[in-house]
Copies of this chain bind each other. A is one copy, B any other.
Amino acid sequence: MNRTIGIVLLSGGLDSATVAAIARRDGYCLHGITFAYGQRHEIELQCARRLAEFFGIGDHIVIDIPSRIFSSALIRGSAMEVPKHREPLEERSIPATYVPARNTLFLAYALAYAESVSAGAIFIGANAVDFSGYPDCRPEFFSAFQTVADRGTRAGVDGDGIRIMTPIIDMKKSEIIMLGTQLGVDYSLTHSCYDPTAAGLACGACDSCILRRRGFMEAGVPDPTRYGTG
C-alpha cells in the first residue's frame, strides 16, 4: 500500500505544527519545507527543525529566500517596527508585518517540491479567524492558488493534481490548540512571537503573542511559552 505523500510547510509556529499532526493523523507520509527569509530572529528556524524531528519527517528542506526582495517590518534590519499592544482582530488595515506575496512564494516552492516528489497534497497552517489580516491567509487566496496548481503543473493537467490543504483555516486559535493537544503536539517546541528578546523569549505584546496567549487561555491548556515581558 502506498501512503499518499504530503508536503507540510513548517514555520516553527503553533499553526503549522498542528497541521503537521493533522496530516499525519490522516495517513500522509510527510516531507517538510521551511523558509529562511531574513526573519528578525532565527528561533523559528530552530523550532521548525525540532518539529520536523518530533514528527519524524526525514526529508525536511530549508529554503533560503533573499530578504532584499521583501519590504516588511518582519524582516531583520527593516526600519519598520513590529506593532505592539494592538487588538489584532479589530484592526482592519493590513499591518506593517505583512510580507509581500509571502504565501504565494511559499506555496510556489511547495508546489515545485510536491510535483518533484510526486506528492498529492500541500498542507499549510493558514488561519483566517485569529489572524493579522494578511490578504494571503484568506480562503479566496487559497482557492485562487489551487487553480494555479491545477493549470500550471503536469500533475494538474495530466495527473491527479496537487491539493492545497488548509485544515485549520476556519478554526479559532483555542480550537487549534485543543485539537493539537489531543493529537499530541508538544507546543513547547513552537514559537509564535514576531519580535522576541535577545534571549529568545516571546515579547507578549505583538499580534502573534496576543493571539497565542489568548488561545491557550480559552482552550484551558497550560501555555508553555516563556514570555520576556508583558
Which residues of A approach B to under 8 Å, CB–CB? Answer: 61, 63-64, 66, 68-71, 93-94, 98-105, 107-109, 111-117, 135-136, 138, 140-141, 144-145, 147-154, 156-158
Contact = CB atoms under 8 A, between A and B. Distances in A.
Given A69-B109, A148-B141, A158 B94 contact: yes
A67 to B, nearest CB: 10
Contacts of A114: 100
A152 B141 contact: yes
A70 B223 CA distance: 40
Given A147-B147, A148-B145, A153 B61 contact: no
Contact of A144 (B107, B113, B135, B144): B144
Contacts of A136: 151-153
17 contacts: A63-B66, A64-B66, A69-B109, A69-B112, A99-B112, A100-B112, A101-B112, A101-B115, A104-B152, A104-B153, A105-B109, A138-B151, A144-B147, A144-B150, A144-B151, A145-B152, A147-B147
A94 B103 CA distance: 27
B116 A100 contact: yes
A52 B104 CA distance: 26
Contacts of A112: 69-70, 99-102, 104-105
A141 B94 CA distance: 28
A100 B154 contact: yes
Nearest to A145: B148
Contacts of A102: 112
Contact of A100 (B107, B115, B140): B115
Contact of A135 (B104, B108, B157): B157
Given A100-B115, A111-B101, A144 B138 contact: no
B153 A116 contact: no
A152 B66 CA distance: 20
The 6 closest A-B pairs by CB, nearest first: A100-B115, A108-B108, A71-B116, A101-B112, A136-B152, A105-B108
